Structure formats: C-alpha cells, structure tokens
Structure 1
Amino acid sequence: MSEAPLRVLIVDDEAPARARLRDLLGDIAATQPSRVVGLAANGVEALRLLESEPADVVLADIRMPVMDGVELARHVLRFEQPPAVIFTTAYDQYAIQAFELAATDYLLKPVRAQRLAESLARVRRQLPAADELLAGLAPGPRRHFSVNERGRILLVPVADVVYLRAELKYVTARTVEREFLLDESLVQLEQEFSGRFVRVHRNCLVARAAVAGVERGGEQDGEAHWDVLLAGLAERLPISRRQWPVVKQVLGL
C-alpha cells in the first residue's frame, strides 16, 4: 500500500466506540491518512458492507453479537484481496501475546491515537493475516460458512448444513434448500466441527442432528451397505465399511 489514504471499515457493537475510532483516525490523518468507508455493529453487517465497498483495513471489536471479530476475520481472509484486520480488544495479557505472534494487530481499549497510528503503519508494510492463529483464538467453531457467489458474500449458517461432501477441489455444503461450494478442506472442517458432524465416508461428513436413521442399501446389485437417511432430504448417503463402526457408536445404534 502507498501513502494514499487507507480505506477503513470500523466494526464495533457500541456506537461510542465506533465514533471514538473515527475521531482518532481524523486526529492522525496527517501521518496516517485514511478514509472511513463504513461503520458496522457486528461481523455480518461488516461483510455486507464489504460486498459493495472494499477496504484496506478492518478495525474490529472482538466480542460482538451475531458474529464476533474473530469469525469476521476468518471470513475476510478468504477474500481474493483480503483487508488487514486489526482487533480492538479488552482481552487479557495472554491473548494479547497471541495477537502479537499473529500478522494481525490489536489495539487495547481505550484506543490511543499513537497506538492506532503505529498499527496503521504496520498495515502499510502489508503484514499478512494467519487463519491458523485466528482459529486458535476463536472461542469455538464458526457459526457461518462464507461463500463467494456471483460477486456476493453469502453467509450460510453451519446449523443449516445437512452434510459436507468433498468433490474435486471444492466441498459441497448441502442445506435442505440448496447446495453451496466451499473453498475449504474436508479434513479441516472435520477437525473444526467434530462435535457437529460425523464422517460417514472418506468424502462425506453428515450433521448428527440431521440423521433420521440408517437403512440397508445396495442389496440388489450385490454390494450391500448401510445408508444414512436425512431429515428433510430424500437423498441417501452411503456409509463406508470402514466408517460403519464409528457411525454406529456416534449415533448410538
């Protein structure tokens, strides 16, 4: 990034905190020029704004309703040209040390002008973000998957996903209504959502809450196996012989 004004999106659920950051950006404009492109009260609002207004920097509170700052940052990292994410936080010293190891920066509340200027200077040096660190800092699995579709960012609630199936280089996330393509690894998704999904085949994870039962299948063609029956879908998913003992144990069959 050059010394042209940085495009900044401010994300905080408290209006006074948003106003303070905006004022501070004005105070340091002589050394760190910037332009506020939007204000958002949570991560979902921020993603909606980023669809139409690109940003170089996202100043994001950590604890917010609907979608917190850590999950927002993980979605942002999947943009083709992701903005830098700077957290504004009241986390304890151990979390701050973790932030210092990341490429993203942090600002302790109440935010000071000099510290904000230093942080924007770091952004200009193009320090990249690290999804692995963000995953470690998150209090739990994400609540949404983010999907880039025809220039828009779609947020798919994880709770709505019936199954995840690896196909070529993408993973298909299936809800009752439709399919979405995720640019993620099935192995990583299994690790992150181990409490929600169970592997039924080498290429498929099924939401435990979506399992309506199991039934024998394939007997007519001589390759008998068990199928998972899904709530809300007529589709049946085969269970591999290798995964059958695990599926039985997990589902209490």
Structure 2
Amino acid sequence: MPAQSPLNILIVDDEPLARDRLRTLLADLAVQLPSVVVGEAANGVQALDLLQVHTVDVVLADIRMPGMDGIELATHLGRLEKPPAVIFCTAYDNYAVQAFDLNAVDYLLKPVRAQRLLAALQKVPASRPDGTLFARIGQEIRGGGRTHLSCHERGRLLLVPVGEVLYFKADLKYVTARTAEREYLLDEALTHLEGEFADRFLRLHRSVLVAKTALAGFEKAAGDDAEAYGWALLRGVPEKLPVSRRQWAPAKALVKSS
C-alpha cells in the first residue's frame, strides 16, 4: 500500500503550553498518522494570516481566545474555496461543543489525550466546517456577533473589523461594507447582518444598515426625490444614506438620545 501523505496541521491556541502539548502529541502519533505542523497562531486573526501562505488539511483550534475566537475562525474557514477541517481543543464541555460533534466537526477536551487526538484526526477527510452553524452558535456563546467579516479580493481572504464598519449597503447579490478608508464587497445577506449585529447597526432603508455611532444628523429629501424620504449624514465620510419614511422617526430619535 502507498505511504499515507502527512496531514498539514495548523495549531491555534493563545496558550503556548497548550500548543507545545499538541506538537508533542502529534510527534508521538507520527508512526500511526504522519503529520506536519505548518504553523502556530495565538488567535483566529493570526491563523487566517498564516492560511494565506500555507496549505492546511486540519486546524486544531481552541474555542476561547482573545482577538478572534475559534468559533469565529471556523466561520471564516468555511468561506474558503477549500476549507480545512476543524477540530476544537477546549476546556469547555457544553451544548455548543456537542453540536459541533453532531455536525461532523470533532472536539477534544483539555488536557488532550493522544488516542483521542488520533481518533479525531482519522476523521479529518470527512470533516469540513459549517460556517452557518458556527455563526449561530458563536453568537450564542459570546453574546454577540462576529468581530470580523471576511471577503475575497484578488485571490486573498481579507478581514474587515466590524467595529470599523460605518454602514452596509445592499446592491444586487452583494453587500458593500464601508469603513473610513474604503469599501469591501461581502457575500452576506443584509437581513442576516441586521440580526447578528442588531445592537450595533440600525436599519435606515430596505438596502441600508448604518452603525449607530456613525450617525451625525439628517436632512429631509426634496419633494420629488423618489429614492428616499430623507438622508442620513455620517461622521468621517461624505456620503449620505437614504432613509425610508418608516425609519425616519426611529433614526432621528436615536441621534437625539445619544
């Protein structure tokens, strides 16, 4: 029989000792299951940077990490053309972890045991992340939406910090996310973004969500303006956003109370 190709593995954990333990276990299992650790990262943002230059078969990821946790990392991995499998290594045995297992994404409880790691890695070819599932469960666990959104641009995966987004605007099948510096095209649904980030963004129009902190004021539209009942003025950018008749009063009330 031909020799088994080594699995390319990325280890993601904010604790150096935990990363060292996984490296040691993988070395101990090398005869039974060859692998190569192509890199280490302390959070999801660092992991996605490494994935721009490394091909990975499986990501061993902690769940609770600063910057970007393992669940949010998995949502972005699910958007890759060839997403790696995800195995969570966590100290938290709760309903979310059980849900991952039911959806063919394995989990290991810390301290990770060699045979349990081997069994998980042997399932890797059939295991791929479900980005929709992770987005929902991640929101439940952290009590809020993602910290970053992702988009593909010129063959690269770019991360957009949600805290820097001034507004989302829907146009045909894409949504534009506008920051103070530039625009990003997202493969997202405006209704999903509205539900996920309800605390941060306000609906102004059927095609527009605005960051509540970005609102500077309003002006009434001309009587013959068919696009909007009024216009929202923003901090930091010259654009005006259309406001529907239905959202005019709630949006003005929000600015007045802030």
What TM-score do the two structures reach when normalised by structure 2? 0.91
- Counterparts of residues 110-129 of structure 1 (less than 5 Å): 110-124=111-125, 126-129=126-129
Contact 2:84 2:129 in 1 (8 A): no
- Aligned-residue RMSD, C-alpha: 1.8
User: Residue 19 of structure 1 aligns to a residue in which SS?
Assistant: helix
1:114-193 equivalence runs, <5 A: 114-124=115-125, 126-138=126-138, 139=142, 140-193=144-197
Give, in whole Å, the separation in 1 of the partners of 2:225 and 2:83.
51
| Bigger shift: residues 149-158 or 3-12 | 149-158
Q: Percent identity?
A: 58
Instruction: State the distance in 2 between where 1:107 and 1:57 align.
Output: 14
1:205 aligns with 2:205: no
State the distance in 1 between where 2:168 and 2:191 align: 11
Q: CA deviation at 1:214?
A: 1.0
SS in 2 for 1:242: helix
Residue of structure 2 in register with 1:52 after alignment: 53
Deviations 1:51-71 (A, max 9, x none): 000101000111112111111
Deviation of 1:193 after TM superposition, in Å, equals: 0.5
Unaligned runs of 5+ residues in structure 2 are: none
- Of 181-190 and 239-248, more deviation after overlay is shown by 239-248
State the alpha-carbon separation in 1 of the partners of residues 13 and 196 from structure 2: 26
Counterpart CA distance in 2 for 1:4 and 1:45 is 26
Tell me which amino acid in the other structure corresponds to 2:99. Answer: A
Contact 1:5–1:34 at 8 Å: present in 2 too?
Answer: yes
Call closer, same or farther: CA 1:82–1:63 in 2, change over 3 Å: same
Aligned ranges for residues 233-244 of structure 1 at < 5 Å?
233-244=237-248
Q: Deviations over 1:214-236 (max 9, x none)?
A: 111223x4557211101011111
Q: Which residue of 1 aligns with 2:90?
A: 89
| Aligned residues between the structures | 250
In the alignment, is the contact (CA less than 8 A) between 2:60 and 2:88 conserved in 1? yes
Cα pair 1:51 1:151 within 8 Å, conserved: no
* 1:61 and 1:87 in contact (8 A); partners too: yes
> CA separation in 2, counterparts of 1:205 and 1:57?
36
Conserved 8 A contact 1:170-1:184: yes
Contact 2:149–2:161 under 8 Å retained in 1: yes
Cα offset, 1:135, TM superposition = 2.0
Q: Does the alignment pair 1:100 with 2:101?
A: yes
8 Å CA contact 2:75–2:132 kept in 1: the answer is no
Structure 1 letter corresponding to 2:134? L
> TM (normalized to structure 1)?
0.92
Query: Where does the alignment leave 5 or more consecutive residues of structure 1 unmatched?
Result: none
CA deviation after TM superposition for structure 1 residue 250, in Å: 4.5
